[in-house]
Amino acid sequence: MITTAAPTEDPGKSHVHNVAHTRRRTLLTGSVLGGAALLLTGCSEDSGSGGGRKDGAAAADARLRRQAARDSAALLARYDATLAAHPGLDDRLRPLRTEVARHAAAFGASPAPSAPASPAPSTSAGPSDAPSARPRTGASPPSSPAPSAPAVPSDEKQARTDLAAAERRTADARAAALVSAPPELARLLASVAAAGASHAYLLTEDGA
């Protein structure tokens, strides 16, 4: 009986096969890890750019709010100057002035001092009159510098016309700003601009 010995595996070929298999596994592992690294890097970059966009939007929102607050403060100063120069307009201007003060607060402006009340007729000039005059002239100033008082025409109708023009300019500025404003601020700007246009109409309507 003739037996045939099983062929023995060539050690050289086995070694080559093992090296090739190990190399393929190393390359595959490296490819997977490299892809994961790229994915993580991409996520990190996206996250960073998203944070940058949010920071930019927040900065733009704050800038627009500061400008809107300054515009409202300037308009408020014009109302106060007009009221001081023409006390007879008190009933007509004070409700509008109150709305402008609310607008300023909505934009984050510092609380404005109350509008000066119409002076009451004085019956005597004695020392006892001094305390009653002090609250009208000693109103606490706002925390931020108040706009300088604008010049007011001596003619009452012209004073109303100038105040209406200031309302229109402010409303136009708000309408222009809302185009680049974030949604919430844009809605506020649009609402306040509409109120300003309404104020301008009421100020120039003789029968109001």
pLDDT digits (tens, 9 = 90+) for 130-161: 333 333 333 333 444 555 678 999 999 999 99
Domain extents in the chain: 52-111+150-208
The answer to whether the beta carbons of residues 167 and 203 sit under 8 Å apart is yes
Q: How confident is the model at residue 140, as a pLDDT? A: 37
Q: How many CA atoms lie within 13 A of 132 on its CB side?
A: 13
Structure tokens belonging to residue 179 = 């185009």
Within 10 A of 177 (CB to CB), how many other CB atoms are there?
A: 20
Q: How confident is the model at residue 113, as a pLDDT? A: 58
The answer to whether the beta carbons of residues 109 and 73 sit under 8 Å apart is yes
Q: How confident is the model at residue 203, as a pLDDT? A: 96
Q: How far is CA 77 from CA 74, 112, 147, 208, in A?
A: 5, 9, 6, 22
Q: How confident is the model at residue 105, as a pLDDT? A: 95
Q: How confident is the model at residue 205, as a pLDDT? A: 85
Q: How confident is the model at residue 127, as a pLDDT? A: 38
Q: How confident is the model at residue 150, as a pLDDT? A: 85
Q: 140 CB contacts (<8 Å, ≥6 apart)? A: 113
Residues of the chain falling short of pLDDT 50 = 4, 16, 19, 24-47, 119-144, 208
List, in sequence order, the alpha helices (H) in the chain. 11-85, 90-106, 130-137, 156-177, 183-204
CA pseudo-torsion sign 141, 142, 145, 149 = negative
